[in-house]
Amino acid sequence: MANIEGLQKLAHDAFEFLKEFDWVHSTQVTHILDGTLHKIPCEWLPVLTNMSTDELNNFPFLGESSAYLYPLWPTSLHRFLDLAARLNIERGQAELKPATVDFRMARGMNPKKLHEVSYIATLIHDIMAETGCDTVVDVGSGLGYLDHVLHQVFGHTVVGLETSESHVSGAESRAANQGLQCEGIKTLRFNLVNDVVCFQQFDELLSTIVSASTCQCKNAIKDDCTSFPLSSYCKKQCHRLMPWHILPQTLRLGAQETRSRWRMQSEEDHRNHIRHIAFRGLLELADCDDAAARRKLVRKCDFSSFKAFQDSYYSSSTFSASEISSGKSTLSYLYNEHKEDFSLIEIFTALQVVLQPVIECLIHHDRLLWLLEQGYSHSKVKIIPVFDEAVSPRNLATVAIK
């Protein structure tokens, strides 16, 4: 159940929080060596640089408990963690009985996909039973995994809408292989401009909207800001805070890996991440032509050391001998200039991981506020943690019933 005053307070506080800690989320990852790392408060560094791997992994989960567990930490750091926790959404999985998906229906699904399909199918079935709805319209239906389960397990009529022609063909082929050539299940090509149009069109057409959060954060990342903010209230907050504004890289952070994945990182994982970020940052400082495209040609194993990365990057036959010599000299100079900062990369990343759910939840709250502004009853609009976060971290689904 969504209370408009409560949502507005959460959105207001989230905007204020993001403005205050703008330095954490407004920098592109490839620009991390341009002075961003030195924006970490000096009083935070002694405690953050001395954390063990386990402490680093658990750091984004501390919240208000940090004051009890680490009483000697700076008050400002406790406040940062406490505020971030208060602006997050509870992610404990809702009580749902997963749909029974046999081996034939599960063909082609990895364990994560099977988990997601089995639980979201049950959620949709429960909503249809509550509302008396008789047809499911699945926007962005992919290869039809969910649609086929909804039809075979629960007997629902399903229309899948998909922008990719290859996915439409794949879904039709998969349905045929499962003997689903009937009027009860269809996959159609659909030209979706953006999620704003999606919300507006289906608000007019359907009695029930069930929107999985997996795509909402990603669809909010648009340079023209047509997808975020969506609600009038959040637009007013953006106007109030001008000239400060949320940048695309902030929304991109909201769509990145969640803190549950961070918690599972090994010491070697952290070292690998440092090298990847650091070497990409050096290329950005060197202002190398086509750096992003060329970097993608560097094999993962060649990030094992700076020399291996450098040799791999300049192994292309498109470089002249003088370009290789000059380029390696520049990168080596920058490496020696910035290598002392590399140890701060994972600390900075941990701070971003703390912020990631704040951004993601703000996007969800903006969607709920938009629905309430359109006249939906607050008792019929809610966010449901539909998946086990350990299996599928982006586990929030927005449900609105007209």
- Residue by residue, DSSP assigns 5-63 as HHHHHHHHHHHHHHHHTHHHHSS-GGGTTTTGGGGS-TTTHHHHTT--HHHHHHGGG-G
Residues 144, 171: contact at Cβ < 8 Å?
yes
Q: Where are the domains of the chain?
A: 18-69+262-352
Q: Residue 237: its pLDDT value, please?
A: 94
Residues of the chain with pLDDT under 70: 1-2, 180-227, 288-297, 316-317
pLDDT of residue 266: 93
* pLDDT tens for each residue of 359-399: 999 999 999 999 999 888 888 888 999 999 888 888 888 88
In terms of C-beta distances under 8 Å and separation of at least 24 residues, what long-range contacts does 18-25 make, across chains too? 18/246, 18/250, 18/355, 18/358, 18/359, 18/362, 19/241, 19/244, 21/80, 21/355, 22/244, 24/348, 24/351, 24/352, 24/355, 25/249, 25/250, 25/253, 25/352, 25/355, 25/359
> Which residue has 């990603």 as its token pair?
218
**Separation CA 11–CA 8 (nearest Å):** 5
Residue with tokens 């400060």: 244
Residue whose token pair is 């969640």:
258
